[in-house]
Structure 1
Amino acid sequence: MKIAVAGLGFRLANVIASFAKACPDLEIVGLMDPEPAGLPAVLSSGLPAPRRFDTVELMLAQTRPDLLMVGSPNVFHLDHITAGLRTGVRVFTEKPVVIDEDQSMKMARLLAEYGKESVMVGLVLRYSDLYRDLRAAQAQGHIGTITSIEASEHIAPYHGAFFMRDWRRHTRYAGPFILEKCCHDIDLYGSVVGQRAMAVASFGGRKSFAAENRPDQLSAFQQQEFYKKPSGWLKSDAVFESDGDIIDYQTAIVEYQGGATMAFHTNLNVPDQFRRFCVIGNKGMAEGDFIRNRFEVHSAITGEKLFERRYEGHESDHYGADDQMAFDIYKHLTQAAPLPVNIVAALEAGLVAIKIEEARRARRTVELAETWQRFDDALCSPVAAA
């Protein structure tokens, strides 16, 4: 399989490593990235150095790949995806697909023109064993009608410091923090509820990685943690005095169509990190933690524990889901096998995250009915006709 790459950062290098396992004849026929931070990792895996190009358009015209992989900073995704679709190439893009509401509508119109199957997205948690077990418990009727969800993504200080030093610290490149980092989670729980979010509220800010908190001397733990995850484009050494505008903690409340609710909490400075959920329905509850590798289901009818699992042996990032995603996408491309997530769901999760940030900034509840109407209209309005 021939792939061309637009934006080869550390994340996409990991994804390509998983794709190489799924597809032994994988060949990178082109690379467009003026500063490919992930290239050394790709070369060290044994793949040959790809041919370099100055533009995506030129790369696609001269290489005619089977797949364009987009791993560029989020603000460039729309342009790079558009270039792929215009050339007639299928596209895989990292999440989030786009950075704001306007780009979301433009992407929807592109899908109206080129088809919803033309773009695949790296919402990798949909491929995880834990998510599949959660959906299986739901399908078996153990949870019943969802009433409420409590969920979190809490991130260790090394990763928080990385955000303050990386290009992701600037919302003009990454979009809001809750979009860049937590769109996985928003997508997962929206899929479990099975209804669109209809109202959101949120509070948060930046308190941990702030100038007034910089110690005179970093602790041994901080010295080890803060710089162990390298940054690429626009890298910086500043952790507490970051020039970025992202926040480092946020709480969101979501109400879904039909009345189910979710309380979601994220924080960038959690030394014993976890990423857990409690999904509660009228028949039972399911609890899980992606980092602490556990899942349990309890019945509200009998009080019994119906299911318990501990996860071990994951060899790739995202709790083993990177490898599974690569195998599933390769099977989809070669055998038309179905995927657990599509680009429309990714855009919907992104819009919820964007509206959560709007609610935080405005300090008010934001209703989404009008947004969904505009989005649905865009999905039926090709760019050529817009």
Structure 2
Amino acid sequence: MKNVTLIATAAMGLESVVAKEVKELGYEVQVENGRVVFEAPISAIPRCNLWLRTADRVKILVGEFKAVTFDELFEGTKQLPWENYITEEGQFPVSGKSVKSELHSVPDCQKIVKKSIAEKLKLKHGVVHKMPETGEQYKIEVSLLKDMAALTIDTSGYGLHKRGYRVGQGEAPLKETMAAALILLTNWNPDYPLIDPFCGSGTIPIEAALIGQNIAPGFNRDFVSEDWPMIKKKYWDKAFEEAEDYANYDQKLSIVGSDIDHKMIQIAQDNAMEAGLGDLVTWKQMQVKDLSIRNNNGYIIGNPPYGQRLSDKESVAKMYRDLGSIMKEHPSWSVYILTAYDEFEKEYGQKATKKRKLFNGFIQTNYYQYFGQKLKGE
């Protein structure tokens, strides 16, 4: 088997960002709702898992077919080449989801898919009784959308947002994949200063440092498919070598993360140390009103509190007013703020150059973008 069909799953609104990342790795893509589909050699599985900053997972698409009855689901599943992927000892748990489909009972669909795959593998491996399922794991998902069944195998293990550096977090931490997307949606590059005045546990500054030094986000963790015989060890070795070669540890960075809560600053420092970034990010405990801008042509990127509790509304509104009045004095800076606060532009005191709808978890937010007027000669 030379090539596989891969799916990089994406949070709603981030499909184009994930697609750009996959293209930069050298693969042609097809962008769909919530996913980016592409044909690639097996060696792409290690590379995509290591390098994709904004995708949730990388899955193998084993096959798609129409299924409006359980018989069609069973037979369609059995037609697929499971023996090319799953070994005789392989464990193959099945999860599922169903949207706008005749087959709406997800537990029944899971059982049928599991039974069908087991039948196919028993036939292939000459197993009379039950498949042993004592070896490496192949997590299968049956996804039904408008009567089309898609069967995939997850190659990532736990989600790609789990970089391996988070030793602590606040109440509502921003996912690492979303933080990376917020940065990639700007035209920041590591030659410019970057400040996150609402850094919390430090996710945006840490992701910016990884991007700034071109460090692969998956470098500090493992993946379920590292145990699969179908992906030769040399592919993993080469992918990790490539990540090491492309990292630019000498790149100087000016990244500051600040927060009003000294406990969060300590957590952010611990997370940065765990990420191997040491002193690359400067951490400060301070209020937004004390923000000091010294350079020209920098970037503010932040995910401030949304003020969803009535008691917080006025303090959050004041924080936005403070930020707006400070940034009015620095028109060469670009400001990017992700918030669900409806009155943000009013409190900030300026209409955004551009707004983008994004989902932070299940919360619909706006990404307010203010493009700085770059100074000549800078």
TM-score between both structures, scaled by the size of structure 2: 0.24
The structure where helix makes up a greater share of residues is 1
Normalising by structure 1, what TM-score?
A: 0.24
Higher Cα Rg: structure 1 or 2?
Answer: 2
